[in-house]
A = this chain, B = another copy of it.
């Protein structure tokens, strides 16, 4: 009874430029089939499919069988984890900037 199929780190998922491009393409349209995505890349269908699989494992995309094709759609929710992670250093960044500013004003 395993429906989660090995969870994938969202940071790893977005590390690859091909996968970021996929995310971008999926953001443009509600639902896209695999064969509609592949022409945007130089690599073969299998490679694109594997990237989509990795995104799915990170829960960044959902897919649905529709006849003979598989429709993919973006699920941006896991990106929240990255956003939260960044928020910490954003605060750090601002603090440092403030300290630097006060030093310069001495």
Contact = CB atoms under 8 A, between A and B. Distances in A.
Contacts of A12: 15
Tally of this chain's copies: 2
A77 B17 CA distance: 20
B23 A15 contact: no
Interface stretch (A40-48, A61-69, A79-87): A79-87
A20 B11 contact: yes
Interface string A3-28: 00000010110110100100100010
A30 to B, nearest CB: 9
A74 to B, nearest CB: 8
Contacts of A83: 86, 90
A20 to B, nearest CB: 7
